[in-house]
Amino acid sequence: MRGPAVQPKPLDARALAALAANPGCRRRALLDGAGVDKTALADALGAPSAFGQSQFALVRGNSFEARVKADGGAELLRLVHERLDPAAAPPGSAAVPDLSAVGPEGRTARTALALREATGTGTWALLDHPMLALDVAGSVAFLEPDAVVVHPDGSWTVVEIKSFPMLDGSADAAKVGAAARQAAVYVLALERVAAQLDPAPEVRHRVLLVCPKDFSNLPAASAVDVRKQRAVTRRQLERLTRIEEIADTLPEGTCFAPDLPPEELTAAVEAIPATYAPECLAACELAFHCRARSRGEGAVTSLGRSLRAELGGLTTVDEVLAAAHGRAGDPDDPAVAALRRASALRAEALGGAPC
């Protein structure tokens, strides 16, 4: 489906968190499951995506992460000890196992072995960029958290290192929320590894978020409780339709190679049902394409999910207007009754006939 010469784009925690935020969207589920590069696809459709990190932000983020993890992760472990486990013995020298192996499967196995070896030693261990696997709608996603720390009591903590600043101890709530949803995906994947051990170690539901302090290059850390995000993400990922089931509904030979003519690509993309909502603008590369289609169809979801929920069975703007003007709709339907009342009030306020 990606096209014969196109390398698969692996699913990462950010994509999984976005997928879980819109589990009803079969389009995203299939494209992500098939490893389609949605940024290239959006470009080819003539609706380039608006997000993605700039090169400058990437370089700055990498240099901050290297600083946080310098000296065998001494500063990082100090922050984990201070914020999450102050009763434990301070981390002097911690184990930093070598996690290199061939391919994602090899790295996943190496990570599981390192976690097993570090657990129960009664000391601190830092796993730098471990690899975890999570089964999502029938395909395996390989995930790479910034770090996982093993505590002396054998419990495990996910560490997320971000380049947005923490000002006076707090950071942008939307960015913290996105980081928490991403960390929740790592927690779920770590729980799968823990379940293989006997006794299963505790995967802590408070993760450590590390950010630059007040625009400096010094690290500041905060413990973030991801229980809610973990529960929501788990439920949503379980609800995803299996990729094969979606693929079976498509015409034979459907392909999303970005070098195909735009009309052919558009037809292929439109063959998969989507559930656009304004939230897509901050989470999906295809948002501009789907928004234009959704608006073109007059779908009320393009105005927001909460409005869509309040309108019940009225799914298009035309249906809503017809119901408000008394041309259609069951007057006993609470949504229709509310629309007619609103229309009458508006007319009264404007001193004219309902419009």
> Among residues 284, 300, 323, 339, which is the contact residue for ligand SF4, using CB under 6 A?
284
Site string for ligand SF4, 26-45 (x = CB under 6 A): -xx-----------------
CA–CA separation, 243 and 35 (whole Å): 11
Minimum distance from residue 2 beta carbon to ligand SF4 (Å)? 16
Stretch near ligand SF4 under the rule CB under 6 A, chosen from 96-104, 247-255, 275-283, 308-316: 275-283
Write out the binding residues for ligand SF4, residues 88-107 only, by CB under 6 A: none
**Which is nearer to ligand SF4, 218 or 282 (by Cβ)?**
282
- Binder to ligand SF4 among 11, 25, 176, 339 (CB under 6 A)? 25
| Least distance between ligand SF4 and beta carbon 25 (Å) | 3
- If one asks whether residue 1 binds ligand SF4 (CB under 6 A), the answer comes out as no
DSSP collapsed to 3 states, 325-336: CCCCCCCCCHHH
- Interaction of residue 275 with ligand SF4, rule CB under 6 A: yes
From CA 126, how far away is CA 73, in angstroms rounded?
A: 7
The nearest distance, CB 291 to ligand SF4, in angstroms, is 7
Residue 204 in tokens: 């802590």
Report, in this order, helix, strand and coil percent for the chain, each rounded to 5.
Answer: 50, 15, 40
209: left (phi over 0), alpha (psi -120 to 50) or beta: beta
Least distance CB 38 / ligand SF4 (angstroms): 7
Picking from 254, 206, 200, the residue whose alpha carbon sits closest to that of residue 230 is 206
Distance of alpha carbon 223 from the chain centroid: 20
Distance from first CA to last CA of the chain, Å, rounded?
A: 48
* Region 290-309 residues binding ligand SF4, contact defined as CB under 6 A: 290
Q: Which residues contact 256 (CB under 8 A, 6 or more apart)?
A: 1, 2, 3, 31, 34, 36, 41, 265, 268, 269
Nearest to 89 by CA among 97, 81, 101: 81
Smallest distance from ligand SF4 to CB 288, Å: 8
Shorter beta-carbon distance to ligand SF4: residue 111 or 275: 275
Segment contacting ligand SF4 by CB under 6 A, of 1-9, 57-65, 220-228, 282-290:
282-290
Pair 139, 171: CB distance under 8 Å: no
Residues in the chain: 355
| Smallest separation (angstroms) from ligand SF4 to the CB of 285 | 7
Which of 45, 47, 189, 274 lies at the binding interface for ligand SF4 (CB under 6 A)?
Answer: 274
The rounded distance, in Å, linking the Cα atoms of 141 and 17 is 12
What's the closest the beta carbon of residue 255 comes to ligand SF4, in angstroms? 17
Find the binder of ligand SF4 among 9, 16, 22, 156 (CB under 6 A): 22
Q: Which residues bind ligand SF4 (CB under 6 A)?
A: 22, 25, 27-28, 274-276, 280, 284, 286-287, 290
